[in-house]
């Protein structure tokens, strides 16, 4: 295997989103986006209880991309304008295709808030190509135990195949574009090679722990993201401590991207149309 060289190593500093403090490795002043990935937020871990619940997000719209949640710890309630209502639990993934427009709300369940607990997750914005930005919206929720898992030869690395294909095993998420999403859990001393499709841009994000990637060290709270060049077949990972990482790769669209708030389109005119359509109720309403 020819290892992909590392394009850059990024930080994951804290930013404030209203009352919520979270990590934002994409975008930063150095990384605008890693096509087709627009935004990556790492929220939590938060201690949630009846006196502290900043992550209760009321109804809000999206258009032109796929907002995705990888829930690491806790429990969230999802509702949307398609009529879906589901409780997303630790290890689950919810993959929303906003397309022409969807309205949803999410936040810790009432039971979780009353009992108290830890909430942590990843919110990813995956772009849609121009010809798919106005497709019908869709929602997928897959439980943690339903994903295929690949184990390294030494038994110290487990890879949850969420979307795409790895070593002949497919993800349970149906994707609109060529994309891979894997959650990787590593024990100390675990080693494994992972393949990257040659036509994909790719990144590796460290949620917690300490790992070597092609001899580059990723440490929690310091350097937490690696972007790879498209010049090899994959990468080698070695666990220096118990660690959890998210691997993402996708075929880039190489299209102009225009964003405003919850909309990801190609032109400013399309952003204005999204604002108008939302105000006119064309993205639907949440059921009461």
3-state secondary structure of 274: helix
Which residue do the tokens 């666990």 mark?
239
**CA-based nearest residue to 64, from 122, 129, 123:** 129
**Contact status, residue 220 vs residue 208, Cβ threshold 8 Å:** yes
**CA-based nearest residue to 7, from 253, 204, 208:** 204
**Contact status, residue 141 vs residue 92, Cβ threshold 8 Å:** yes
Q: How far is CA 263 from the centre of its chain?
A: 17
pLDDT band, very low/low/confident/very high, at 19 (cuts 50, 70, 90): confident
Looking at residue 5, its pLDDT comes to: 97
What backbone phi and psi angles, to 5 degrees, belong to 276? -65, -45
pLDDT for 107 beyond 90: yes
Alpha carbons 139 and 53: distance in angstroms, whole number: 25
Alpha carbons 247 and 242: distance in angstroms, whole number: 16
Q: Report in angstroms the alpha-carbon separations of 196 from 47, 57, 79, 229, 243.
A: 36, 35, 34, 10, 20
Alpha carbons 263 and 280: distance in angstroms, whole number: 16
> Please, which residues have CB within 8 angstroms of residue 288's CB and are 6 or more apart in sequence?
none
pLDDT band, very low/low/confident/very high, at 186 (cuts 50, 70, 90): very high
pLDDT band, very low/low/confident/very high, at 287 (cuts 50, 70, 90): confident
**Contact status, residue 25 vs residue 225, Cβ threshold 8 Å:** yes
> Please, which residues have CB within 8 angstroms of residue 223's CB and are 6 or more apart in sequence?
9, 10, 11, 217
Task: Please provide the size of the chain in residues.
Answer: 288
pLDDT for 78 beyond 80: yes
**CA-based nearest residue to 159, from 204, 202, 123, 197:** 204
Looking at residue 55, its pLDDT comes to: 84
124: which 2 tokens? 């990813």
Q: Report the 10 Å Cβ neighbour count for 75.
A: 19
Alpha carbons 272 and 276: distance in angstroms, whole number: 6
pLDDT band, very low/low/confident/very high, at 129 (cuts 50, 70, 90): very high
Instruction: List the domain boundaries for the chain.
Output: 6-279
Q: In this structure, which topology does domain 6-279 adopt according to CATH?
A: Jelly Rolls (2.60.120)
Q: pTM value? A: 0.97
Alpha carbons 30 and 11: distance in angstroms, whole number: 9
pLDDT for 29 beyond 90: yes
Could you tell me which residue, 196 or 221, shows the higher pLDDT?
Answer: 196
**Contact status, residue 239 vs residue 152, Cβ threshold 8 Å:** no
pLDDT for 98 beyond 80: yes
**Contact status, residue 258 vs residue 65, Cβ threshold 8 Å:** no
The mean of the pLDDT values for the chain is 96
């Amino acid at each position: 295997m020819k290892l992909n060289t590392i394009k850059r190593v990024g930080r994951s500093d804290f930013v404030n989103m209203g009352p919520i403090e979270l990590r934002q490795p994409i975008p930063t002043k150095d990384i605008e986006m890693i096509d087709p990935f627009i935004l990556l937020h790492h929220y939590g871990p938060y201690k949630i209880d009846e006196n502290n619940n900043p992550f209760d997000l009321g109804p809000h719209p999206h258009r032109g991309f796929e907002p995705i949640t990888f829930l690491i710890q806790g429990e969230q309630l999802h509702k949307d304008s398609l009529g879906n209502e589901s409780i997303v639990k630790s290890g689950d993934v919810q993959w929303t295709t906003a397309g022409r427009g969807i309205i949803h709300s999410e936040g810790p369940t009432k039971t979780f808030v009353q009992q108290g607990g830890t909430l942590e997750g990843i919110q990813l914005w995956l772009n849609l190509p121009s010809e798919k930005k106005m497709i019908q919206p869709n929602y997928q929720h897959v439980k943690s135990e339903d994903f295929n898992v690949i184990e390294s030869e030494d038994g110290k690395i487990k890879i949850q195949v969420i979307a795409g294909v790895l070593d002949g095993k497919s993800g349970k998420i149906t994707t609109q574009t060529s994309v891979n999403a894997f959650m990787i859990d590593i024990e100390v001393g675990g080693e494994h090679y992972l393949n990257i499709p040659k036509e994909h841009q790719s990144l590796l994000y460290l949620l917690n722990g300490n790992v070597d990637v092609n001899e580059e060290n990723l440490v929690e709270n310091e350097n937490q993201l690696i972007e790879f060049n498209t010049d090899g077949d994959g990468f080698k990972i070695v666990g220096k401590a118990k660690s959890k990482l998210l691997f993402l790769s996708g075929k880039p669209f190489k299209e102009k991207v225009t964003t405003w708030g919850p909309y990801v389109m190609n032109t400013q005119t399309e952003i204005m149309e999204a604002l108008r359509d939302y105000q006119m109720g064309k993205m639907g309403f949440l059921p009461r």
